[in-house]
Chains A and B, each alone.
Chain A
Amino acid sequence: MARSGKAAVVLCMDVSFAMSNSFPGEESPFEQAKKVMTMFVQRQVFAESKDEIALVLFGTDSTDNALAVGDQYQNITVHRHLKLPDFDLLEDIDSRIQLGSQQADCILFWLGKKFEKRHIEVFTDLSSPFSKDQLDIIIHNVKKNSISLQFFLPFPIGKKDGTGDRGDGNLHLSDHGPSFLQKGVTEQQKEGIQIVKKMMLSLEGVNGLDEIYSFSESLRQLCIFKKIERHSMPWPCQLTIGSNLSIKIVAYKSILQEKVKKTWIVVDARTLKKEDIQKETVYCLNDDDETEVSKEDTIQGFRYGSDIIPFSKVDEEQMKYKSEGKCFSVLGFCRSSQVQRKFYMGNQVLKVFPAHDDEAATVALSSLIHALDELDMVAIVRYAYDRRANPQVGVAFPFIKDAYECLVYVQLPFMEDLRQYMFSSLKNNKKYTPTEAQLNAVDAFIESMSLIKKDEEEDTIKDLFPTTKIPNPEFQRLFQCLLHRALHPQEPLPPIQQHILNMLDPPTEVTAKSQIPLSKIKTLFPLTEAIKRKDQVTAQDIFQDNHEEGPTVKKHKTEEGEAHFSVSSLAEGSVTKVSRAFPVSSHQLINHIEQFLDTNETPYFMKSLDCIKAFRDEAIKFSEEQCFNSFLKSLREKVEVKQLNHFWEIVVQDGITLITNDEASGSSVTAEEAKKFLAPKEKPDEDSAAVLEEGGDVDDLSLVPKKKTKTKKNIKLTITIIIVSIVFISIIVSLLYDGFTRPSCVKK
């Protein structure tokens, strides 16, 4: 296994001066080539591929290579020998590669011999003269060493025409590169293209031209991190039917939930070293002193219901179930319908093939596969990986493809694994029986959201959303963040890339089609959020939790300089200490105001207005002006989002604005600012919009004003804002006692 699949890749980059030629508004081929290489190397780094990568520059001012003798192989620099890719290489590509002033005259490569696959990737714009006379030698050498060659050019080349005929007719630039069409290709480049084509065709045959890529198309393909490739180990065994019939098989894992290969290592926050941290486990008695006992003084036991039974490891080992070793034994056969998919267990799917190069076994297994297939039956099998593994019972069903056939094995449950729950019938319940109209609406909706495209002529079905082709976004995101952190250690993590999000969403054509049937569903199926008593006490609930949380948060807080504890949790913990009575009542108030507004009816507007006024007065009285101000700010935000402009108009009419520093000394708002606050706003404040977005409900709110959990979230948001501001006040106040203000800590 060790060596198989390992490849050597030589990146050859043209750094001759011509590479910097670019057209206005376009990146130079030099920059583009660097980008493609960076992405390629990134993928290799995170895929932990064992492929080794070398970087050769040609067209450099100096010459540094082992073959440079006389005037041969001049202007070629081996920047990096074959090595596993790492971040140094990435940084080199990013910053250390300089354009040369020379023209490259020749490319030739050499490679070690221990690799199974050898690739050469050439990045060039072909504007340097090539020495044609050596072409045949190069081709011969490359062929002899079975090296595969790929060219990356700044422009796409025509792939229609064959070799042989020279001249412009051959140079069929496709539509992808309009900019290049206009600006034309130099004679030198044309000639270069011919040479490249000739080379590729003689090396790779008719499909050779497919190995020539343009920079832009490679960028598109490389933006997704490589999927994690794992090779399955073969598991040779014998499939037995009864005592007398066995078939040599070999099984492979074909589906297994892939985990990130590396785990997080805990390191010391200051030194970033793992060695500085040690973890120990101690055992102590359940007495008042928590007397510690050494591990040697403890033994192992197991619960048997209410009893705990001492059961030493040795005894356990001796008495435990003993498996008879690896096996794949048929227990019997049953109708395939008796094994339901919902009972599939375990964490893997095995594909069972006949032993390699064993025709007798192949035929024997084939008879079983086809017998089961024709009878529509499956085998129930006892499977044990090895002597130490617990035996399983599972199903093996036939799987026949054009290219191969096999049995597929999935584990089935034991009696102990089943839970029989009963659910009331949906059919017999008149209350929940949908009407004919409702059913039709759902029918239309399902039709409109179909993820397949039927091709009538060819009678094929195209899957518009093949989930098994989508890379796991968890890994994409992890690598994105790791890469970002590695290159920019001081910056916060970047947001999720748009192409990842797009990948997870339904195709836009499908969502567009579903709009009308969906609106019908909305009208026919009234969905109202149940108002539970629980909702009303949300605010108190939060505060109760905080109360309990208090000490722990405090504990973290004592560690100075650890500002990374999330601001909100810190704030929540402390608020109970700052002022308990006021926030609670204010929350109920805010709660009510939100509910009133959700009705979107004028009488309720007046009520909420009263509430706001009362709130304002109370806030001044209790010197909680910040609390009110942030509430009002968030209210304005919400009004905008929900398009309750007429409500805001009333607020403006009544002149309810922020509490100014004239009214309360704690406020930092001037009368001027307060006035401005009520003035119509051009653009929503970007910061707070971002905060709302994080709640993820902006759009929801704008579309359905009647949802209550949504508002609940927003209430929570408001609450958080309020709490945060209260804490800041307390911080500021406490600092004031020292006669010292530090507004910067607010921002933290």
Chain B
Amino acid sequence: MSGWESYYKAEGDEEEEEEESPDVGGEYKYSGRDSLIFLVDVSRPMFESQGENELTPFDMSIQCIESVYTSKIISSDRDFLGVVFYGTKKDKNSVNFKNIYVLQELDNPGAKRVLELDQFKGQQGQNHFQDLIGHGCDYSLSEVLWVCANLFSDVQVKMSHKRIMLFTNDDDPHGSDSAKASRARTKASDLRDTGIFLDLMHLKKHGGFDISLFYRDIISVEEDADLGVHFEESSRLEDLLRKVRAKETRKRVLSRLKFKLDRDTALTVGIYNLVQKASKPPPVRLYRETNEPVKTKTRTFNVNTGSLLLPSDTKRSQIYGNRKIVLEKEETEQLKRFDEPGLVLIGFKPLALLKKHHYLRPSLFMYPEESLVNGSSTLFSALLIKCLEKEVIALCRYTPRKSTPPYFVALVPQEEELDDQKIQVTPPGFQLVFLPYADDKRNVPAPEKVMANPEQIDKMKAIVQKLRFKYRSDSFENPVLQQHFRNLEALALDLMEPEQAVDLTLPKVEAMHKRLGSLVDEFKDLVYPPDYNPEGKATKRKQDGESSGSKRPNVELSKEELKVHATKGTLGKLTVPMLKEACRVCGLRGGLKKQELVDALTQHFLKD
């Protein structure tokens, strides 16, 4: 497939190529960019810490913003971020309003910006703030919002989502000035109309933060009206972080599909991915002299005439049973077509029949989509309630796109869950679990069963109990990614030495050792014979004797021999080094995979 995928890249429109949704490995991409402005109240109360060792609200906000920056760099570096302070002494903004300081305009998050934010952290950071900007006394929230709106409109790129996060611990900023308050309300509603969302990240305040005093009319309510989720005010950094995290990414639908109960009864659902592998971004090629990025063009041409080839000048072929079978490119697409995109209900099965070890690829999430078929939500909700109650799953045939063959999926009902901060941790809906086909299952040779005796099992139970911990899905960072970005950061900021990322995936050997004490030795005594060494190499390799002499097997074969193999179709019997050598002798570029080598040779010999 790689052959013609790259072909299409040559057509130029890279953006479009990227947005082509899921590839087979379960990775998805979206169009448009998100933008987010952090709007921070920097008036004096924000710098007053609530307790002895507690962070000031301002410090918390800054740390929080910095963490969003770094995570954005990893997860979605195309998004725009900006930081605005209000209630400042100095001012810096395009319309020269007082007491508003635009620290960072909307742009991609980058190393310098992170560094700039870093300077505002801690006690030193507060001093730095005083020197650089200073507290002001007066501000108008309507002007503040105006500045933010300008920032959004200054961006030339198409934005898919605009959001402001307001950090403050003042629940009634214009308590004495009703004119200002009403202007702020008007401005806030203007923003709403232009599609800008405003979220309040309210921080702890003596006597509690009362949203009803002022902010209730200012903040936007989610598009899906009654979110039913109201945050508590945050007094700890972790709480604030989680709140910000929850809001920071806009939920994006992968596709809107019909869920057909039968041929003509359908509701519409949105499909979302709640887990997606974050991977190292692909490298960019730069021109050595100037470090500017270069464009990559791939083109296909005819070797004999040198003329460029259009897609229509090529066909696709595969070789089976020594025969070259040729199809048009369209036909290779066409044969993958089975259903119209959508989900087709097959029936229901007890949840218990869904086997834990039948896992194929990351599951997706399904939520009703009222915008296409009215009444979808009610039917969806009824199905969800009943599936939960009866503990059944719905089995469906899932076709995400037109030219994608179907896979069977189990719809597993999932009930909504909130945590103690009333933040939704599990949304209501169905998980879409992919089920393997017969081809995806492999037979593995299982060794003979020898069961441990109860005494041995009990000893292991004691070990297991000692090493108990609470697993959270977000407790492990990807050490490879983290190190990669630390390295980049170090290079970007001209640091001498990159910060070493802590590898959380390594076992805490010493702590474990301490906890286990003598249990390990006791278990070993019960299970292992005295002279047994579990670390030792497995039984000596049988071939040891002969392999030393013939370490490098004779990889050369005469052309005649090869030809015999090719005509008999037995090239596959040869080893990869032999095939490589054969390709080299015949002057072929075979590729790396065995199949490619075999194909190349077969073609070469059959052609003669």
Contact = CB atoms under 8 A, between A and B. Distances in A.
A699 B474 contact: no
A269 interface: yes
Q: Give 10 closest A-B pairs by Cβ, nearest first.
A: A421-B251, A306-B108, A404-B446, A86-B321, A305-B110, A474-B405, A306-B110, A84-B569, A434-B382, A367-B452
Interface residues of B, number: 238
B439 A472 contact: yes
Given A263-B3, A446-B386, A566 B435 contact: no
A446 B527 contact: no
B395 A467 contact: yes
B447 A353 contact: yes
Interface stretch (B58-66, B93-101, B130-138, B504-512): B504-512
Contacts of A404: 446-449
B1 A263 contact: yes
A267 B347 contact: no
Contacts of B472: 338
B564 to A, nearest CB: 11
A242 B1 contact: no
A252 B457 contact: no
Interface string A254-289: 111111011111111110111111111111111000
Contacts of A477: 335-336, 338, 405
B429 A232 contact: no
Contacts of B376: 527
Query: Which of A231, A311, A566 counts the most chain B CB atoms within 10 A?
Result: A311
A277 B3 CA distance: 11
A740 interface: no
B314 interface: yes
Interface stretch (B142-150, B163-171, B360-368): B360-368
A333 B464 contact: yes
Given A330-B467, A443-B390, A426 B326 contact: no
30 contacts: A86-B569, A245-B523, A247-B534, A255-B436, A265-B3, A266-B315, A279-B6, A279-B301, A280-B298, A283-B294, A299-B291, A300-B284, A301-B286, A304-B110, A311-B487, A331-B505, A364-B456, A366-B452, A367-B452, A371-B461, A414-B278, A416-B477, A417-B276, A419-B276, A426-B368, A429-B226, A465-B346, A521-B379, A529-B373, A556-B312
The A interface is mostly helix, strand or loop, or mixed, namely: mixed
B596 to A, nearest CB: 8
A481 B385 contact: no
A283 B295 contact: yes
Contacts of B452: 363-364, 366-367, 370
B327 interface: yes
Query: Which of A83, A228, A342, A565 counts the most chain B CB atoms within 10 A?
Result: A342
Given A86-B323, A406-B446, A419-B249, A305 B278 contact: no
Interface in A429-457: 429, 431-434, 438-439, 441-443, 445-446, 449-452
Contacts of A275: 303
Given A83-B568, A310-B491, 18 more contacts: A2-B573, A84-B569, A90-B321, A241-B516, A253-B442, A255-B358, A262-B595, A274-B603, A282-B298, A305-B113, A363-B452, A366-B457, A416-B71, A449-B347, A468-B441, A474-B405, A482-B327, A696-B339
A270 B304 CA distance: 12
Interface string B382-422: 11111100101001010000000110100010101000000
B306 to A, nearest CB: 9
Interface in B544-574: 568-570, 572-573
B77 interface: yes
Contacts of B357: 254-255, 349, 351, 399, 408, 410
A221 interface: no
Given A255-B436, A438-B378, A559 B313 contact: yes
B350 interface: yes
A419 B263 CA distance: 34
B402 to A, nearest CB: 11
Given A257-B360, A264-B318, A529-B373, A242 B509 contact: yes
Contact of B320 (A50, A254, A486): A486
A364 B603 contact: no
Nearest to A480: B335
Nearest to B523: A245
B300 A278 contact: yes
B588 to A, nearest CB: 9
B51 interface: no
A545 interface: no
B264 A700 contact: yes
B371 to A, nearest CB: 6
Contacts of B25: 347
B435 A468 contact: yes
A730 interface: no
B151 to A, nearest CB: 16
Interface string A504-530: 111100110010001001100111111
B459 interface: yes
Interface in B250-293: 251, 261-267, 272-278, 281, 283-289, 291-293
B471 A380 contact: yes
A370 B304 contact: no
Nearest to A234: B445
A342 B227 contact: no
Query: Which of B26, B336, B346 counts the most chain A CB atoms within 10 A?
Result: B346
Contacts of B607: 273
Contacts of A187: none
A342 B372 contact: no
Given A2-B573, A419-B275, A468-B441, A280 B299 contact: yes
Contact of B457 (A261, A277, A374): A374
Nearest to B2: A263
Contacts of B361: 257, 347
Contacts of B433: 341-342
Interface stretch (B153-161, B177-185, B478-486): B478-486
A442 B382 contact: yes
Contact of A446 (B2, B272, B392, B408): B392
Interface stretch (A142-150, A168-176, A290-298, A674-682): A290-298
A301 B320 contact: no
A438 B301 CA distance: 63
Nearest to A365: B452
B523 to A, nearest CB: 7
B373 A298 contact: no
Contacts of A449: 345, 347-348
A253 B360 CA distance: 12
Contact of A267 (B317, B332, B386, B476): B317
A392 B374 CA distance: 43
Given A367-B457, A446-B390, A521-B379, A556 B310 contact: yes
Interface string B330-353: 111011101110000111111001
A287 to B, nearest CB: 9
A478 interface: yes
Contacts of A254: 357, 441-442, 444
A521 B381 contact: no
A86 B323 CA distance: 8
Nearest to A244: B520
Nearest to B526: A367
A365 B246 CA distance: 41
A36 B365 CA distance: 45
Contacts of A293: 287, 294
Given A439-B386, A463-B353, A265 B460 contact: no
Interface string A17-49: 000000000000000000000000000011010
A339 B376 CA distance: 31
Contact of A412 (B316, B444, B473): B473
Contact of B321 (A87, A308, A469, A521): A87
B111 interface: yes
Interface string B512-535: 110010001101100111001011
A153 B377 CA distance: 59
